Amino acid sequence: MNILVTGGAGYIGSHTVVELMNAGYHPIIVDDLSNAHYRAVDRIGKITGKAPAFYMANCTCKEQLRHVFSQHKIDAVIHFAAFKAVGESVKKPLEYYRNNLDSTLTLLEVMEKFGCKKLVFSSSATVYGPNNPYPYKEEMPAIQSTSPYGWTKVMIERILTDYCTAHPDFCAVLLRYFNPIGAHESGLLGDDPNGIPNNLMPYIGRVAAGKLEKLTIFGGDYDTPDGTCQRDYLHVVDLAVGHLKALEYAQAHEGVEAINLGTGNGISVLELVTAFEKANGIKLPYVIGPRRDGDLPAFWADAAKAKELLDWEAVYSVEDMCRSAWKFAKNASV
Ligand code: UDP
């Protein structure tokens, strides 16, 4: 089966492509490399023993997408390609709305033209917004977010829901990710953002590697057991496997379905720091700083629906996440 993977050279995309190839699918990567490196594509080839099909193309360009669809009979699409930095999205809202919405609309138009009716969409727990109690369940209102980035996910979920109403034979699975961390066991793929990382684990990796001086923990006075924020961290390989399960589900179903991908457990920033130190025998210098604007004190997934509909649950431990993240960060380029 030919699976178009937009954003397939990125962090979650590249791990998903590896799992697809290991399972016998034929992934076709489309990535404009605006926030990814071609070396990830090379490394997928090293890990799997086979080079994946790759097109350097931008999903907002209909001509480029049409070209890819004309070269391969695409059976389903996994759509990762998007701008994803929360803080940057506050400063550049138009770029985020234009890119994330336009790429999805263009993709849907081209899929329709070529009769492709199966889509797995990379959504986020951010769609639960600031007002739902945790653990988050899929039936809660997911109609509000806290940044332009998050709003693009809310809006795209809406677009896909409306599209499925108008096209009852289409299937869109909206995967709401919690906090993916960790890396491929080979140490060849991982989260390697350009510039200073915004997310916690790549920041920890750079501190551990001596490339950044110390970690600043954003806030130590939250109403949580140790005063730091709690999140549902899951291993990126578990997340990648979740996409294969969602793909199988989409093959057999029609309509729209939102599904959380998380472990169902919350752990705090301090707990993650301690777990990293213990798993890798490293001391991590850190200070407690002020809270970061827009951070929620705590949230995690209710993971029951993924188990029920996809027969998926996270299997890797926090220790696995920390060990693999360090194995990758030690050798990362930046
Ligand atoms: N965080 C932190 N220091 C950092 C980066 C993140 O203390 O340098 C905290 C952040 O406040 C949040 C958690 O780590 O509580 C996870 O943040 P991240 O940006 O990785 O993911 P988010 O949950 O915001 O999507």
Distance CA 239, CA 119 (A): 16
What are the tokens at 187?
A: 């140490």
If you write DSSP's letter for every residue of 260-325 in order, what string do you get?
A: EES-S--EEHHHHHHHHHHHHT----EEEEPPPTT--SB--B--HHIIIII-------HHHHHHHH
pLDDT tens, residue by residue, 84-106: 999 999 999 999 999 999 999 99
Sign of CA dihedral 68, 20, 165, 176: negative
pLDDT tens, residue by residue, 250-272: 999 999 999 999 999 999 999 99
Known catalytic residue at 149: yes
Distance CA 195, CA 189 (A): 18
pLDDT tens, residue by residue, 206-215: 999 999 999 9
- Are 34 and 65 a contacting pair, CB within 8 Å? no
pLDDT tens, residue by residue, 277-306: 999 999 999 999 999 988 999 999 999 999
Q: 85: CA distance to ligand 1 center in Å? A: 12
Give the binding-site residues of ligand 1, using a 6 Å CB cut-off.
179, 198-200, 203, 215-218, 229, 231, 269, 292, 295
User: How is residue 133 annotated by DSSP?
Assistant: P
**Mutational pocket test of ligand 1: of 211, 292, 293, 318, the residue with most ligand atoms within 8 Å of the beta carbon:** 292
Q: 228: CA distance to ligand 1 center in Å? A: 10
pLDDT tens, residue by residue, 214-255: 999 999 999 999 999 999 999 999 999 999 999 999 999 999
Q: Is 216 helix (H, G, I), strand (E, B) or coil?
A: strand
Task: Answer whether residue 334 shows pLDDT above 60.
Answer: no
If you write DSSP's letter for every residue of 42-81 in order, what string do you get?
A: HHHHHHHSSPPEEEE--TT-HHHHHHHHHHS---EEEE--
Distance CA 124, CA 19 (A): 21
Kindly give, in sequence order, each residue whose CB lies less than 8 Å from that of residue 220, ignoring residues fewer than 6 positions away. Answer: 227, 228, 288
- Are 84 and 113 a contacting pair, CB within 8 Å? no
What are the tokens at 295?
A: 């951070």
Nearest CA to ligand 1 atom 11: 218
Name the CA dihedral angle for 41, 43, 44, 50, rounded to a multiple of 10 degrees. 100
From the alpha carbon of 289, which atom of ligand 1 is closest?
A: 7
